[in-house]
Chain A
Amino acid sequence: EPEVTQTPSHQVTQMGQEVILRCVPISNHLYFYWYRQILGQKVEFLVSFYNNEISEKSEIFDDQFSVERPDGSNFTLKIRSTKLEDSAMYFCASSEVQRNSPLHFGNGTRLTVT
Chain B
Amino acid sequence: GQQLNQSPQSMFIQEGEDVSMNCTSSSIFNTWLWYKQDPGEGPVLLIALYKAGELTSNGRLTAQFGITRKDSFLNISASIPSDVGIYFCAGAGNTGTASKLTFGTGTRLQVTL
Q: Which residues of B contact A42 (CB under 8 A)?
A: 88, 103-106
Question: What residues of chain A lie closer than 8 Å to B100, measured between beta carbons?
Answer: 33, 45, 48, 56, 58
One of A4, A99, A105, A110 near B95 (C-beta < 8 A): A99
Interface residues in A, total, Cβ within 8 A: 29
Encoded as 1 (CB less than 8 Å from any A CB) or 0, chain B from 78 to 111 comes to 0000000000101000011111111111100000
Q: State whether the Cβ of A97 lies closer than 8 Å to any Cβ in chain B.
A: yes
- Least Cβ–Cβ distance between A56 and chain B, in angstroms: 6
Tell me which residues across on chain A come within 8 A of B48, comparing CB atoms: 100, 102
Whether the pair B103, A43 counts as a contact (CB closer than 8 A) is yes
Known contacts A50-B98, A100-B50: A44-B103 contact under CB 8 Å? yes
Cβ of B102: which chain A residues have Cβ within 8 Å of it? 45
| Contact partners of B45 in chain A: CB under 8 A | 102-105
